[in-house]
């Protein structure tokens, strides 16, 4: 059984209401409930956390190391493009992670086309709305199975 942490950055608490053309109508709570069920059915434990504050996300990454979390799925939102602190935390803990985005950040405004985390990530899933999380979890489960033998 793997311990999985799903981290969500700023403004993702507004999913379902915020710019539905980019982000869809599904709420973060709906996504979290579905991820938890899928992870449990696959024999894994999943927790989730959302914050609008950079330092709280950094604290969660550090806490994940102390709690021996095996894998992180992270949607850093705007911190994707700005947070060296979040990058440093992910690098320092060496916890493998998948970067997730609801929209295709590479097809958006120029300032959104660069990720400070991408080169550290096991992979990136972007552009599929709420399904991006499901695809990331599916990839994570397959990755864990391949590592197990």
Q: Per residue in 31-52, pLDDT tens? A: 999 999 999 999 999 999 999 9
- Range of weakest confidence among 13-22, 56-65, 78-87, 132-141: 13-22
What span, in angstroms and rounded, lies between the C-alpha atoms of 23 and 39?
23
pTM for this one?
A: 0.93
For residue 108, what pLDDT is reported? 78
> DSSP H helical segments within 75-130, as ranges?
84-93
SS3 for 4?
strand
Domains along the chain with CATH numbers: 3-101+120-148 (3.40.50.9100)
- Are 12 and 74 a contacting pair, CB within 8 Å? no
pLDDT tens for residues 74-102? 999 999 999 999 999 999 999 999 999 99
Q: What is the average pLDDT value for the chain, to the nearest integer? A: 93
Active site amino acids? 23, 101
SS3 content of the chain, % helix, strand, coil (to 5): 50, 15, 30
Q: Is the pLDDT of residue 139 over 90?
A: yes
């Amino acid at each position: 059984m793997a311990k999985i942490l799903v981290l969500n950055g700023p403004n993702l608490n507004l999913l379902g209401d915020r710019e539905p053309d980019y982000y869809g109508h599904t709420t973060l709570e709906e996504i979290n409930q579905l991820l938890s069920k899928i992870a449990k059915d696959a024999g894994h434990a999943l927790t989730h956390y959302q914050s609008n504050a950079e330092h709280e996300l950094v604290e969660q990454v550090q806490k994940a190391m102390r709690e021996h979390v095996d894998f992180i799925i992270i949607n850093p939102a705007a911190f994707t493009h700005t947070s060296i602190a979040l990058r440093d935390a992910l690098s320092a803990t060496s916890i493998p992670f998948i970067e997730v985005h609801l929209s295709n950040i590479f097809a958006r405004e120029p300032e959104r086309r660069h990720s400070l985390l991408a080169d550290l990530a096991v992979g990136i899933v972007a552009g599929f709305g709420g399904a991006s999380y499901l695809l990331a979890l599916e990839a994570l489960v397959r990755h864990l199975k391949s590592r197990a033998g």
